[in-house]
């Protein structure tokens, strides 16, 4: 199963989670690039205002084609109680070409389920799996367990191959 993880990360939190998930899934990574936001007071203000208002920014062209994958994991942070605008812009642009999806959002501790519901509505079909990872999980390091479980949900390990019976030499009379 070919997996692509398309994600946006401003501060690096979602990037850290995606790196761990990609390791479990052996997935390709598509970083959604957007120059509108930055790590500054103005950047934070613009990000929150755009998220709240539903304004979608321009994003750079994708380097991977979503339709070439069996599954696309959509990942990003929650800003002002909504999935971040660059992730929403990616979904709007790629929606027609998205195969089966899984959803992953990072957040400081609020609006997780409502944001997953909103992202699912924008995608237009139920995902294979969905998860949120909080800042508390990131700080404690327990996010790695959540990511491992999420990866298992997305792509269960194949059953172990049957072990051939041990060779028993034939006894001659």
69-107 tens-digit pLDDT: 999 999 999 988 999 999 999 999 999 999 999 999 999
Mean pLDDT, rounded, of the chain: 89
pLDDT band at residue 15 using 50, 70 and 90 as cut-offs: very high
Q: For residue 165, tell me if it sits in a domain.
A: no
Q: For residue 171, tell me if it sits in a domain.
A: no
More confident residue, 152 or 42: 152
Q: For residue 105, tell me if it sits in a domain.
A: yes
Name which of 16, 57, 51, 49 is nearest 33 in CA terms.
57
- The pLDDT score that the predictor gives to residue 172 is 52
- The pLDDT score that the predictor gives to residue 39 is 86
Q: For residue 160, tell me if it sits in a domain.
A: no
CATH of the domain at 18: 3.40.50.360
Mean pLDDT of 39-57: 84
Q: For residue 163, tell me if it sits in a domain.
A: no
* pTM of the model as a whole: 0.85
Of 8-12, 15-19, 35-39, 119-123, the one with minimum mean pLDDT is 35-39
- The pLDDT score that the predictor gives to residue 49 is 85
- The pLDDT score that the predictor gives to residue 41 is 84
Does 126 have pLDDT greater than 60? yes
Q: For residue 14, tell me if it sits in a domain.
A: yes
Mean pLDDT of 31-53: 86
Q: For residue 18, tell me if it sits in a domain.
A: yes
Expressed as residue numbers, the domain containing 87 is 3-154
**3-state class (DSSP) for residue 164:** coil
101-111 tens-digit pLDDT: 999 999 987 88
Does 22 have pLDDT greater than 60? yes
- Map the chain to HEC letters: CCEEEEECCCCCHHHHHHHHHHHHHCCEEEECCCCCCCCCHHHHHHHHHHHHHCCCCCCCCCCCCHHHCCEEEEEEEEECCEECHHHHHHHHHHHHHCCEEEEEEEECCCCHHHHHHHHHHHHCCCCCCEEEEEHHHHHHCCHHHHHHHHHHHHCCCCCCCCCCCCCCCCCCC
Domain count, the chain: 1
Q: For residue 79, tell me if it sits in a domain.
A: yes
């Amino acid at each position: 199963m070919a997996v692509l993880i398309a994600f946006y990360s401003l501060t690096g939190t979602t990037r850290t989670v995606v790196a761990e998930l990609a390791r479990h899934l052996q997935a390709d990574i598509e970083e959604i690039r957007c120059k509108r936001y930055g790590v500054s007071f103005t950047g934070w203000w613009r990000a929150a205002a755009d998220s709240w208002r539903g304004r979608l920014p321009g994003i750079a062209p994708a380097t991977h084609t979503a339709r070439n994958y069996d599954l696309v994991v959509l990942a990003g942070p929650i800003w002002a109680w909504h999935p971040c605008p660059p992730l929403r812009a990616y979904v709007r642009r790629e929606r027609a070409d998205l195969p089966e999806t899984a959803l992953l959002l990072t957040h400081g501790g609020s609006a997780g389920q409502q944001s997953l519901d909103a992202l699912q509505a924008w995608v237009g079909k139920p995902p294979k799996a969905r998860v949120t990872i909080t800042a508390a999980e990131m700080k404690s390091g327990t996010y790695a367990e959540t990511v491992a479980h999420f990866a298992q949900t997305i792509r269960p390990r194949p059953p172990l191959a049957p072990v051939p019976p041990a060779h028993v030499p034939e006894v001659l009379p």
